[in-house]
Structure 1
């Protein structure tokens, strides 16, 4: 019994010494591009050139299309088709409805009526949706938001 207790004590001592010395082996920092000592963001000197044309045609830097319809034009279409009076999304959900982000789960996404859809610009691989009182263009394959036009249906 004494031998077993001694073995367990030695093992516990070794484990505790190993855990207590772990902070000594941690990275001290100071080698990154952080904001310490007023020298932050200094890791990209001399790399300001054009690295190829990433945006081709109507596509932006994330591969999402840029929308060619203005809020005023979309608002007048909504008024013409009687699609007004929608209530806005709650603030927490509206904050998550942004370009490049996935559609927030749990929000009611309505299809745009076909009569109005005919007058909206068509982008292959994307579809127009109504979320609250906003007009949203969503990528079909990834469900990423390509564009949000706020307050079109209020």
Structure 2
């Protein structure tokens, strides 16, 4: 039986309303939200400090690009091996080329965000046995 480890998540979104709603939803579903940020600079600082298992990044951070932030998190060893999942209110098809070109493990529409969606994306990515997030299992009862 796999070891059960609670997933530690960080949320980057410029909407305080969405950050609060997402935190509440994910925590109700058994994911620990270790922090939130509204800007790329804040996210880079906090992700380095908190070392989440996964980071959710809105593709549109006001005047900043979530795609750029995803690239920064991927390229800098200080943030490895935390995978990034892109989120947006925009339709995935409208962003398909940008999502495919990004280092993110996938995309979840904000309206479909759930612990199950996050676990499904993490389980379907190309795994790396040295990746601690790769050993995270869904809590019992999911």
Name the TM-score, length of structure 1 as normaliser. 0.22
Between Structure 1 and Structure 2, which shows a larger proportion of strand residues? 2
Q: Could you say which structure has the larger radius of gyration?
A: 1
Between Structure 1 and Structure 2, which shows a larger proportion of helix residues? 2
More contact order relative to length (CA 8 Å, sep ≥ 6): 2
